[in-house]
Amino acid sequence: MKILFLHGLGQSKKAWNQTIKQLNCEDVKCLDVISNKLDNPSFNSLVDQLELKLIEEQNPLIICGLSLGAVLGFELYFRHPEKISGLVLIAPQYKIPTILMDVQNFIFRLMPNKFFPKTGTSKNNMISISSSMRNLDYSDKIKRISCPVYIVCGNKDKANMKAAIKLNQLLPESSLHLVCNAKHEVNIDKPYELADIINKAYDEILNLSNSQPDRC
């Protein structure tokens, strides 16, 4: 079973490198979520591109997403639940906090342009994407999720801790994993600890998938 990794805003697929080295699963795909070919990309345009890649997959897979990647994971699941066997959601927000998003965009506007090449995209693209997510709200859809869900949050990620705990409460069959001494970017701060969680999730989802009868 393949694991598809979706990074956060301000990261590139390289952010997963140290975590992937520790995985038991060799069938992994890491994507640069934000294509430089897109002008003024929106959240929906990112999902549309990823959806095409998801449709190409012959077998259901696991999505592991951080922050923006976790929200993309939600949307991909709701579009194609039959394609997804499990979700590992790191620092997830199922309802975007508008005040936090407005503050983030304000900070982006103040930052010098020279900072943004390090993120793999431009300043305008960062602002365009985050602005397009401002009104996202999956509150009414969350309980439709029927696959295994593993919720991960750094114990120092105060901005996302409340949402992670609430998501765990909304999905009684989900599991919540708090990573000690990690902030928002758990894949950077604690890649080995994150790999342990993903390995556990992979084994459990694979066993569950193998125990289910083949679909006609």
What does the pLDDT read at residue 215? 46
CB 36 within 8 A of CB 19: no
- The tally of domains found in the chain comes to 1
Phi and psi dihedrals of 31, rounded to 5? -120, 145
This prediction's pTM: 0.93
Q: What is the pLDDT of residues 18-65, one digit of tens each?
A: 999 999 999 999 999 987 667 789 999 999 999 999 999 999 999 999
What does the pLDDT read at residue 118? 66
The answer to whether residue 151 is domain-embedded is yes
Count Cβ neighbours within 10 Å for each residue of 161-194 and write b for 16 or more, e otherwise.
eebbebbbeebeebeebbbeebbbbbbbbbbebb
CB 127 within 8 A of CB 184: no
The parent domain of residue 77 ranges over 13-165+185-210
The answer to whether residue 60 is domain-embedded is yes
Give the number of other CB atoms < 10 A from CB of residue 137: 12
67: its two tokens:
């922050």
The answer to whether residue 42 is domain-embedded is yes
The answer to whether residue 132 is domain-embedded is yes
- Spatial separation of the C-alpha atoms in residues 198 and 204, rounded to whole Å: 10
Of 56-70, 114-128, 130-144, 186-200, which range is least confident? 114-128
What does the pLDDT read at residue 216? 35
The answer to whether residue 80 is domain-embedded is yes
The answer to whether residue 6 is domain-embedded is no
What does the pLDDT read at residue 213? 60
What does the pLDDT read at residue 110? 81
The answer to whether residue 111 is domain-embedded is yes
What does the pLDDT read at residue 16? 97
What does the pLDDT read at residue 108? 79
Q: From 3, 1, 4, 5, select the one nearest 59 (Cα to Cα).
A: 1
What does the pLDDT read at residue 60? 96
Q: What is the pLDDT of residues 177-211, one digit of tens each?
A: 999 999 999 999 999 999 999 999 999 999 998 88
The enclosing domain of 61 has a CATH number of 3.40.50.1820
